[in-house]
Amino acid sequence: MNQQETLQQMKALKLSGMVTAYQNILNLPLDMQPMADQLLAQLLDAEHLERLNRKTLGCIRAAHFRYQAIVEEIQYLPQRGLDKNLLSRLADTSFIKRSENVFITGATGCGKSYIASALGYQACQIGIKVGYFSMPKLLQKLQFARADGSIIKELAKLEKLNLLILDDWGLQPLDTPAKLSLLQLIEDRHGKNSTIITSQLPVAQWFDYINEPTLADAILDRLMQQVHRIELKGESMRKSRKNDNPINP
């Protein structure tokens, strides 16, 4: 089998990482091309890396993040009150393996969604299934699902996510069906998978936001059993970017 036939077989088998690596090697001078055992190792490494990259991109696309965000670009300005040690611990994604939750609270524009997205991106890098939802849009989605009878199916999809990010918790009132759906979602995920919640409301006000003691107790008890809290301080980062040089959230 000649080199072109080898490349065609790789393409037929959809070994795109190997194809690219092999083509690059064939373009090298003969005295620089690796021996057979080294060639095989390089081709396998290239294919493995290519598949990891495809898996990561697939996870990112499926998550539907609000921002393209990375942990390394988070700003630890003194006025934000952001604990760099806590962020570093969360960035290793081990909290997801332990099924722990994260609450990120602070004023509008202070970077809550960016930090949540950055942690979600970090999880996608190692193939963790992430879903990013604006709470108002998610509640609307669940409302439609209740209406057409697909609510159980929708909740099952959300339950399976290793990391669920609920952005803008507390922006709109909850009716009783929404509260019941939220309780079922939190109950299904409790002790199995992790949830990140961002909110302008301090955690102390969440009970009153749910506004139904029995359901509030049930929802918050499950969310708060294993939780890390990030309470952002200071003015809007958007305002800072307008007044000063541009900075990352």
State which of 31, 62, 93 marks the end of a domain. 62
Quick check: is 167 in a domain? yes
- Is this prediction's pTM over 0.85? no
Co-location of 37 and 124 in the same domain: no
Per-residue pLDDT tens digits of the chain, which is 249 residues long: 688 888 888 888 888 888 888 888 888 988 888 888 888 898 888 877 877 778 878 889 989 998 889 999 999 988 888 999 999 999 999 999 999 999 999 998 899 999 999 999 999 999 999 999 999 999 999 999 999 999 999 999 999 999 999 999 999 999 999 999 999 999 999 999 999 999 999 999 999 999 999 999 999 999 998 899 999 987 666 555 444 444 446
List C-alpha distances in Å: 241 to 78, 117, 141, 198, 237. 16, 19, 33, 21, 6
Size (the chain), residues: 249
Q: E strand or H helix at 104, and its extent?
A: strand 101-105
- Fill in the DSSP letter of residue 134: E
CATH for 85: 3.40.50.300
Pick from 80, 78, 26, 40: which is nearest to 235 by CA? 80
Tokens matching residue 111: 């970077």
Identify the domain containing residue 7 by its residue range: 3-62
* Triad 84, 86, 91: Cα angle to 5°: 90
d(CA 15, CA 22): 11
Co-location of 53 and 71 in the same domain: no
Q: Tell me the pLDDT of the chain averaged across its residues.
A: 89
Co-location of 83 and 11 in the same domain: no
Pick from 175, 180, 171: which is nearest to 133 by CA? 171
Co-location of 48 and 108 in the same domain: no
Domain count, the chain: 2
Co-location of 110 and 180 in the same domain: yes
In DSSP terms, which residues pair with 229 in a beta bridge? 103
Q: What are phi and psi of 164, to 5 degrees?
A: -110, 125
